[in-house]
Chains A and B, each alone.
Chain A
């Protein structure tokens, strides 16, 4: 999304009042969609809406729906004895629209499409909450149903969970191969996009050069948070690499595409692309890249909470790295494994992995890996409420990020740094760190960072990003 555009910004701010307006004024049946990618942010929004709306809202979650009964039937039966006129918030429809199970998806889409008349019997407002990819799917494929709506409300994720934000940034951090796109200032990025577009016109289509330009443009858009543009570029580059039978670059494009889907919350597609990439890498025998792909797949399973699978992919990666004597890879894997143990509540195992990872990173002199591991140590102690230790590790991590000139990483660490101080009641120190994070994020056009800072300012009761700008 283009965050510079004041109209877009104004529209974003009017989404919530508009939604409240239709809840209050829409009589009888009305169909609405809310586009929201992150479950945590969704919960936050729903609470906010409930507080402001003040009348009952009926919440229905389809997660785990077996498909035996029509969705509308279930809704009708369930709402029969509920207060008249109370709107229904429907969640979890995306779980019936899996990207990988075509049959299931098709059935759900068709069912919704042809039974749309039954929904109107609800006689109340129906608000369906969906992640972006699922809404697009519905719009194109259940078009009769979708076309019935009276509004779509979009709530782009401000990465509500601070921890989640930090983790995403750390993932890039850990991959080690920081692309030039992540180091440029925003102004530089804009200039480069212009330059590359110009080159694109001069380069013969269907050449490797052309595809690489597209890929670089994709990285630039990606780094500026413009996912759909980035996706278009990556897709095009993939097409050309594939035509040229350039498998190595094809696997890279597949990987990049998966990162976009992941950022949009479409984990099925992210996995699909990563798996295609994996097949190619195995085919051409690029074992080091194979281990990275395994790590990325594991990451997606971890986000989705499938820790067993996440662990098994990482173990495969670890076997490869061990066999190849790739100590750096081993260190990275151990660091990731610690995060799974941590999420599973195996604190000792997690700590053990972190210690091993740190030893290896220091032994081979992998400073970026060291920084990431130190940050995870910090999270570990922060979760335990040991703020002093958390701060201690984070300060070490901060020093490394400054030394390495990793702006994106630095920005993430500073936000965490501020969060710890904030939780200790040390507001001025927190603001200080966040202000520096804002300067960096603003300079490099770090979309995720800006979103997090926008929320932090609002949590402080200020007016979002404008607050940091005024403090510069």
Chain B
């Protein structure tokens, strides 16, 4: 994503460098990035990387591991995925990472799009790795796709001629191109998208069968090259738009519950990210199995290890002693983050703004006030009843999951799961008054 021309050595020591080192929106893609800190111990003790990797390693063909992952925005899902990808690759897996946001249309997405998107990603990675597929199979699949007008005949012909001249019939690059064309139509939301979807839906069982034949052939060839198996990570799907369907259910439920069968039908290990509001949906457990969801909770600050770990996160990026006028200021920022990594990064950045020398207590206080104002914007009057309930019971039901998505409410784990208000929400004056009404004399 962000290619840095001058590699920076962490931890950094000037305020301007600190600002850059704490970008809240850049996942750590490089597994050797020194900024990475494993937070498993303070996030309920279960490591995403390890638990999913084990599950995949333990699941042998003809079974495949299917995994759902969710978590608060900015909790480091993508960073963890890059770690997982590296680990699986080290253990001999061929890993395909699909960023749905880049390939498909998150504003309007169907399970059919996802299936085509996955096919495109797999074929693209095979092409990049120089792994070919059975020629007859490719010809068949291409002919089928053209026949069903998922790819346009005209293109297939002209390209076919070019290929014939080169002495190659259908090949991987050609299929990759054809699938990219199809996802392009799907992404752009043109009339073609509806045509493609209509055909795919009608031909669903055939589509899945053909995809699986392709995948199986790919796996065979991968294994011949020494790979253990194929793993697909479908990331960013949790950002799909939320819509209420005519029957009152949501499009989230439609995709992950009603179409779970199709999403699970592919012959490979697969990981999907899901919108956080779905974790309350009991049917999701029925559809994917009760242990299929992994949730990345907030860092638990109730015991001191949480604070220590987050301090470590900061210390990996910046030289605390040189940047902050007092050590305790870091504790203040950590406390106000409520264990949310993105908010912690944002707080550090806010504290940098308007100072060139060193971050002082006034800068930290100003940063905290700014964060509180930002959360004030997110909370509505109507939310107060739920906030009161969460404050008292530390529990949450599904009806207000959007507040979890907005990080107004945090989920924590420590053996148990509990919920609490973001400290910045607690500090909003009108909410504070509502939560702690003055004693009546």
Contact = CB atoms under 8 A, between A and B. Distances in A.
A143 B102 contact: no
A11 B370 contact: yes
B106 A113 contact: yes
Taking each of A8, A14, A31, A106, which has the highest tally of chain B beta carbons within 10 Å of its own beta carbon?
A: A14
A263 interface: no
Contacts of B173: none
Tell me the dominant secondary structure on chain B's binding face.
helix
Contacts of A232: 381
Contacts of A147: 73-74, 342, 407
Contacts of A79: none
Contacts of A53: none
Interface string B364-388: 0110011001100110010000000
Given A18-B353, A107-B107, A140-B406, A120 B378 contact: no
Interface stretch (B17-25, B279-287, B289-297): B17-25
A11 B369 contact: yes
B331 to A, nearest CB: 21
A117 B24 CA distance: 13
Given A110-B106, A151-B353, A117 B381 contact: no
B338 to A, nearest CB: 14
B353 A22 contact: yes
B239 A31 contact: no
Nearest to A20: B354
A14 B346 contact: no
A21 B16 CA distance: 10
A111 B377 CA distance: 22
Contacts of B342: 147
A227 to B, nearest CB: 13
A410 interface: no
B238 to A, nearest CB: 9
Interface string A232-248: 10011000000000000
A21 B373 CA distance: 20
A274 B222 CA distance: 67
A14 B105 contact: no
Interface residues of B, number: 42
Contact of A114 (B73, B105, B352, B378): B105
A108 to B, nearest CB: 10
A236 B342 CA distance: 35
Nearest to B106: A114
Contact of A154 (B74, B365, B373): B373
A27 B373 CA distance: 25
Nearest to B238: A144
A283 B133 CA distance: 72
B370 A111 contact: no
A150 interface: yes
A143 B365 CA distance: 25
A151 B405 contact: no
B129 interface: no
Contact of B20 (A18, A27, A139, A140): A27
Given A113-B106, A114-B239, 7 more contacts: A28-B23, A30-B23, A111-B107, A113-B107, A113-B241, A117-B102, A120-B2
30 contacts: A8-B369, A10-B366, A21-B354, A21-B355, A22-B353, A25-B15, A25-B16, A25-B19, A25-B352, A26-B20, A29-B25, A110-B108, A113-B106, A114-B107, A114-B241, A115-B101, A116-B101, A117-B1, A117-B102, A139-B377, A139-B378, A144-B239, A147-B342, A150-B23, A150-B346, A151-B349, A151-B353, A151-B370, A152-B377, A235-B381
Closest 4 CB pairs of A and B: A114-B106, A110-B107, A18-B353, A110-B241
